[in-house]
Amino acid sequence: MAELKTTQIVGNPHLEGKYIAEMDMWPLEDPALNRLYPFYDNMKQSRWTTTKCKKCGYISYPPGVACPNCWSDELEWIDLPRTAKVVGMTETLAGAPTGFDSPLIIAWLGFDKAHPLKHLLVRIINCQAGQLKIGDEVKFVTFEVPAHPMDVKKESKTCERVYYAFEPIKK
């Protein structure tokens, strides 16, 4: 059995370094199990990307395997600008869902006109309670998610994982 990582920023329950696979909320990001694996591969290089339709130009977020506008599956990966402004937010100081530490900060972000996205609801990390204000600038950031064992063609291996959130831009 491969050594499993534990991380500072958790999203699933840990019990003495082991966690319950049934309660795992993170995707398996390996090409053998996930058609959107480029999203995670790019994230491992700190890139925030999504899919753009080669036929009609429609940009989807989250990324997909077919265009929701014209149903073409000829898509390309594009990089998204990585900064935004906080439009609204909540801070859960106690009673955060299982596996999340308090404060759990969730923000409604607004992007500038040149950005393919208008808004995004996202988790804010690396931020103390009471620190974030509406109007603050935040940026895309990745963090390690506990690795997960997986079976591919009768072989067990470890699926290394990352995910993203936003964090305040230090002034």
Residues that bind Zn ion (CB under 5 A): 53, 55-56, 58, 67, 69-70, 72
CB atoms within 10 A of CB 7: 14
Nearest approach in angstroms of CB 115 to Zn ion is 19
Residues 6+ apart with CB under 8 A from 88: 107, 108, 134
User: Residue 87 or residue 117: which is nearer to Zn ion going by CB?
Assistant: 117
Nearest approach in angstroms of CB 79 to Zn ion is 19
Report residue 147 as tokens: 């690795």
User: Residue 69 or residue 131: which is nearer to Zn ion going by CB?
Assistant: 69
CB atoms within 10 A of CB 39: 21
- 156, containing H or E segment: strand 155-168
Nearest approach in angstroms of CB 50 to Zn ion is 13
User: Residue 99 or residue 116: which is nearer to Zn ion going by CB?
Assistant: 116
Nearest approach in angstroms of CB 65 to Zn ion is 12
User: Residue 32 or residue 56: which is nearer to Zn ion going by CB?
Assistant: 56
Residue 22 near residue 12, CB atoms below 8 Å:
no
